[in-house]
Structure 1
Amino acid sequence: MTIKETNKKKGRYYTLARVILFFACTLVVHILSSILTENAPERIVEQLLMLSATILTFFLVLLFTRWEKLKPNDVGIVPGKKSASRFSIGFGAGLLMAITQALIVLSFGHFQLKLVPEITMAEIGLPLLLYVLVGSREELVFRSYSLRSLSYSWTPFLALVIMTTIFSLEHLVSGNTWQNAIIGAGTGGILFGLAALKTKGLALPLGLHIAWNFGQWSLGFKGRPGIWEAIVEKGYESQVENIGLAAFIFVMGLAIAGVCIVYKKEKLL
């Protein structure tokens, strides 16, 4: 192995170490934000927490991007001419995914959606704001500096595998079940990561991410009523859950295939 090859190999591991350090710093930022907002009004405490975490995470991205000797544009955080359209496409696709999953579950019976009576705009707007902030924070953490720097130093495929694994682990540590963390966050991580790599930006994955979470909440698929309440016939909970999981995998698979087809001419690097 030549000196040049040895230095290149060392550089890869330095990048990986910086990405791990970056992720650790984002966790510290999240904890710090939680402490800073713990006395906020209960109705908006989650939104303030995520707002604080998102802003601080953005500055971390800038810091580590400079450390990696990259530019903000290299990690996809600078909006471009196509950003608005890509976000809109992603948002529409994300809502369609959530609706498709619900329709599949409904078609098998023993499950219904009941419109929540007298829901207010504030009761819809606050969850939407929360999912905007959650999506923004997670895209900054997992699909900007970390994913792109690994894709430059290693390969886009390995970068996607590494960041999807970390994405799943964060969801597991946050209290999600193994099933939700590995299958749910795992397939979501592949979709959002692939969208970020193909478009060289965050607009498309951010639109997908926000709309998917908000769509699931709206349809009562987040474990609590949204705009609709999901009602499962007694005795069929396990069956409906399995159908919901299968529908989830189906729509995620379609979305991943869609990104690959629509952006087939775009390279991952």
Structure 2
Amino acid sequence: MDKSQGWKNVLKIIIPYLIIVSVFELIGVYASGQNFYQNLPQTTLQTCVVSFSSMSGTLLTIWLFCKYIDGRHLIDLGFYDGYISRDVVYGLLMGLIIMIGGSALLLSVRQLSYEGINFNAADLCYSVLLYTFVAFTEELLLRGYVLNNFLDSFNKYIALALSAVIFSLMHGANPHIGVLPFVNLFLAGILLGMSYIFTRKLWFPMALHFSWNFCQGVLCGFHVSGQDIYSLTIMKRAHDTIWNGGKFGFEGSVTCIIFQLVAIAIVYKIYSSKTGEQPVAADTILQEAA
């Protein structure tokens, strides 16, 4: 196999992906009744519709490339069976622990203060769907397709770093982006991709990605990657600081860097010392860490 084919496939998909997904998102904007002359989107439901459209365009693009360019099946990107329920449970738990732990720490040092509950059943349901769509879309694209192809061309850690750089750059147009957010997004790409280079499965990173965003935005009241979407819990920042992340959210904080470095170190230590860096089930990470 030509080792250069992997990174070439990543380059080939860029323009078709941008075109197809942009068309799908435009359809989503119209379908949700949004006004182009106002800030987009305006409601949680509208955000959910656009995210579903983006997911649909991503799925179509990657399916076409798998079938006609890569010569592989979509399932080969990481939808293998085995350990699915445990991978999902442990991914959800890891995101929950990081966000609850980070919030508790910031509350204890008065970087945040609890203001109350903003319960809206419809928005809560839409948020579950929204973050499911986002997790599926970004993990299928960044880990399932990009990292998978990079692994065909490069050493696994170089491939991981390159995919993490792309992951962070994809958020470059988000509101309130800055140096700390870029660092945290890069580390998030490492954390999510670390499990993939050993398992070649998407269940754990998808679950972790969903849990990370949902717990960050809905349960803990942070902005999510700079975007202010529905929150069940109302939290108030004393001031915008490097510790609480300011308007970008938890991902814009030094606190998040610390939590992610610890999580990455645990994942690496377990896989390199216990498995000889051979593919294993993702749930082994948390079983060994517990």
Distance 1:14 1:252 in 2: 32
Gaps (5+ residues) in structure 1?
Answer: 1-7
Q: What is the deviation of 1:166?
A: 1.1
- 8 Å contact from structure 2 (residues 127, 214) kept in 1: yes
- The answer to whether residue 241 in structure 2 is matched with residue 238 in structure 1 is yes
1:15-64: CA deviation from partner (whole Å, max 9, x where unpaired): 31220222333222331122112221454222122212212322322332
Distance 1:79 1:268 in 2: 13
- 8 Å contact from structure 1 (residues 139, 202) kept in 2: yes
- 8 Å contact from structure 1 (residues 51, 133) kept in 2: yes
Moved over 6 A (4+): none
- 8 Å contact from structure 1 (residues 167, 189) kept in 2: yes
Name the counterpart of 1:227: 232
- The answer to whether residue 3 in structure 2 is matched with residue 15 in structure 1 is no
Name the counterpart of 1:173: 173
Q: AA paired with 1:155?
A: N
Distance 2:33 2:172 in 1: 27
- 8 Å contact from structure 2 (residues 242, 254) kept in 1: no
Which gives a bigger RCO, structure 1 or 2 (Cα 8 Å, sep 6+)? 1
Name the counterpart of 1:24: 15
Distance 1:71 1:240 in 2: 44
Distance 2:217 2:202 in 1: 22
Identify the range of structure 1 (164-173 vs 219-228) with the bigger mean alpha-carbon deviation: 219-228
Distance 2:243 2:266 in 1: 26
Q: 1:34–1:239: structure 2 CA closer, same or farther, 3 Å change rule?
A: closer
Name the counterpart of 2:124: 124
> After the TM superposition, which residues 22-171 of structure 1 pair with which residues of structure 2 at under 5 Å, given as runs?
22-39=13-30, 40-41=32-33, 43=43, 44-66=45-67, 67-76=69-78, 78-117=79-118, 119-171=119-171
Q: 1:144–1:83: structure 2 CA closer, same or farther, 3 Å change rule?
A: same
Report the 3-state secondary structure (helix = DSSP H, G, I; strand = E; otherwise coil) of the residue aligned with 1:257. Answer: helix
- The answer to whether residue 278 in structure 2 is matched with residue 267 in structure 1 is yes
Q: 1:176–1:160: structure 2 CA closer, same or farther, 3 Å change rule?
A: farther
- Give the TM-score normalised by the residue count of structure 1: 0.85
Q: AA paired with 1:20?
A: L
- Give the TM-score normalised by the residue count of structure 2: 0.79
Q: AA paired with 2:166?
A: I
- Of 241, 259, 266, the residue aligned with 1:251 is 259
- 8 Å contact from structure 2 (residues 6, 152) kept in 1: no
Distance 1:52 1:239 in 2: 34
- 8 Å contact from structure 1 (residues 220, 227) kept in 2: yes
Gaps (5+ residues) in structure 2?
Answer: 35-42, 281-290
Point out the structure with the larger helix share.
Answer: 1
RMSD (Å), alpha carbons:
2.4
Q: AA paired with 1:16?
A: W
- 8 Å contact from structure 2 (residues 52, 133) kept in 1: yes
- 8 Å contact from structure 2 (residues 120, 232) kept in 1: no
